[in-house]
Structure 1
């Protein structure tokens, strides 16, 4: 299973919990979700049409996105924390990737990702940002979940 499909399953679960009102994001959850969307967008942004970034730049952007998630995780608790922790775990292959050649020396178990793996992780983070944006839009007690635009 790729990173994007793992994130898709977690997003589906989170949105189902919101729809069923098992998770009613607090104003703090919504604010943190929105801040995280900003961090993810700054890191991976929209698909860069025609712009070829070097693998080292793409990997740096992916790690910046993970950092944004980790910072939010450190600032929250409850369902938002559980959701973000599961997403970070699903994104953990990023932590095992390297862009520089290892040569003959040991490389701490890192591997060079394929272009497809990089794209999969970038797309997963964009999907996660979109889901967090929908969660941030949830209005408490209004009857509107904000998830209808899926």
Structure 2
């Protein structure tokens, strides 16, 4: 399953749990979800802005989203933590990406992603932004 699809499945599950009142979001988790969403929006902007960047900067932005989610994950428990954990897992391929060529020697298992892979990851982050906004505004 690709990153976009995995994140879509997570977002759909979160939406169902919220609608069915299986997930009762605490005020603290609402605030954390909105803070996380803001951090993701700061890192990954609309497609035209992201695609205009050099690949090394696009990778930096994607790595920043992983850091934002990891910090948020460390600050919560329960369903929001499970959601963030699933999101981090979906974006795990980004951890193996590199933007620089390997002139000599090994690359520690990293790979050069294609432009399509950057776009896929950025689209997945935008879907996460939307899902976190929904979680943060749910009452």
Q: CA deviation at 1:47?
A: 2.0
Which ranges of structure 2 fall in alignment gaps of 5 or more residues? none
Which of the pair has more CA radius of gyration? 1
TM-score w.r.t. the length of structure 1 is 0.89
TM-score w.r.t. the length of structure 2 is 0.96
What residue number does 2:9 align with? Answer: 9
Q: Give the distance between the partners of 1:22 and 1:135, measured in 2 at CA.
A: 13
Paired residue secondary structure (1:101): coil
Question: 1 or 2, which has the higher helix percentage?
Answer: 2
Count of matched residue positions in the alignment of Structure 1 and Structure 2: 139
Structure 1, residues 44-99: CA drift from partner, whole Å, max 9, x if none? 02222596211100000000011110010000000000110011011000000000
Q: Give the distance between the partners of 1:63 and 1:9, measured in 2 at CA.
A: 22
What residue number does 2:113 align with? Answer: 113
What residue number does 1:144 align with? Answer: none
What residue number does 1:138 align with? Answer: 138
Structure 1, residues 122-142: CA drift from partner, whole Å, max 9, x if none? 010001001100111111xxx
